[in-house]
Amino acid sequence: MRKKIVAGNWKMNLNLQEGLALANELKAALAADKPNCDVVICTPFIHLAKVADVVAGTVIGLGAENCADKEKGAFTGEVSAAQVKSTGAQYVILGHSERRAYYGETAEILKEKVNLALANGLKVIFCIGEVLEEREAGKQNEVVGSQLADSLFDLTEEQLANIILAYEPVWAIGTGKTATAEQAEDMHAFIRGVIAGRFGEAAAESISILYGGSCKPSNAKEIFSKPDVDGGLIGGAALKCADFKGIIDAWK
Ligand code: PGA
């Protein structure tokens, strides 16, 4: 059985005190009412070590939002996968559309990052998704298929077991426009087929594929009810405990 997961992506929001307050609030909420899925919060680098102390021994997993494409050394301002791991984090988001679009992260760079993250014992939440023009041109499958092939097809089946996919149509991120549950299911089924083609049916059946893009408590249940949707990667709605908890509760 593949894992059901709700992961939050805080992006560049919340100072350290605000982040710790949110982590503590979520910890209390989930201690009082156990989730029916895995829960992960992905925070800015500066929050990781302190949030790790808050969530230690709870059901809440912790991840970074990025890591460097180099192992170590003179790369001022970068944070390596080993450094992320040393905070107590277990996950890292890679390939988010904001990293691809604003920081020029190519498929080649992402391949390096994925390899380093896995080599350092992190699980990778790997994001894929088309922009609006690509969807309007009917090219979404082609685009997503290439994103998978270009960064992940050199992995072994063993390595793939530590990858979680997140389908995030770029036109739905932070826009309030959610993909319909049918659009999400169509793409998730396509993605599972691509994984089956390269890694085999068993790998495809066991990989979790999350949906991301304006997911909120009011639409999560319908989206998560689709057979190939295994949870969500949540941006804006992860910044308020009640909203994030509302999405987690969609699995109940
Ligand atoms: P959103 O962001 O939920 O604010 O649309 C999702 C994401 O970018 O991971």
Average pLDDT over residues 88-113: 98
**pLDDT tens readout for residues 178-205:** 899 999 999 999 999 999 999 999 999 9
Residue 176 — very low, low, confident or very high, per pLDDT cuts 50/70/90?
A: confident
Locus of tokens 């308020």: 240
Q: Which of 65, 98, 134, 168 is catalytic?
A: 168
Write the CB contacts of 222 (distance below 8 Å, at least 6 apart in sequence).
181
Contact 237, 219 (CB under 8 A): no
CA of 73 to the centre of ligand 1 (A): 32
Decide: 65 in ligand 1 pocket, CB within 6 A: no
Of the residues 47, 65, 96, 98, only one is catalytic, namely: 96
Return the percent helix, strand and coil in the chain, to nearest 5: 50, 15, 35
* Average confidence score pLDDT of the chain: 97
Could you confirm whether 18 is annotated as catalytic? no
Query: Which of these, 222, 230, 227, lies nearest to 250 by C-alpha position?
Result: 222
Whole-angstrom distance between the N-terminal and C-terminal Cα of the chain?
17
Query: Which pair of structure tokens corresponds to residue 237?
Result: 């709605």
Q: Is 232 in the pocket of ligand 1 (CB under 6 A)?
A: no
Contacts made by residues 179-187, CB under 8 angstroms, sequence distance 24+:
179/211, 179/213, 179/223, 181/219, 181/222, 181/223, 181/225, 181/226, 181/229, 182/226, 184/211, 184/223, 184/226, 184/229, 185/226, 185/227, 185/228, 185/229, 187/140, 187/141, 187/144
Q: Is the pLDDT of residue 138 over 90?
A: yes
Average pLDDT over residues 148-172: 97
Mean pLDDT score, 47-58: 98
Strand partners, 165: 126, 209
- Average pLDDT of span 81-100: 98
Give me the pLDDT at residue 228, please: 98
- CA 50–ligand 1 middle distance (angstroms): 24
Verify whether ligand 1 is closer than 6 Å to residue 235 (CB atom). yes
Q: Taking residues 129-149, report their average pLDDT.
A: 97
Ligand 1 nearest-atom number relative to CA 166: 9
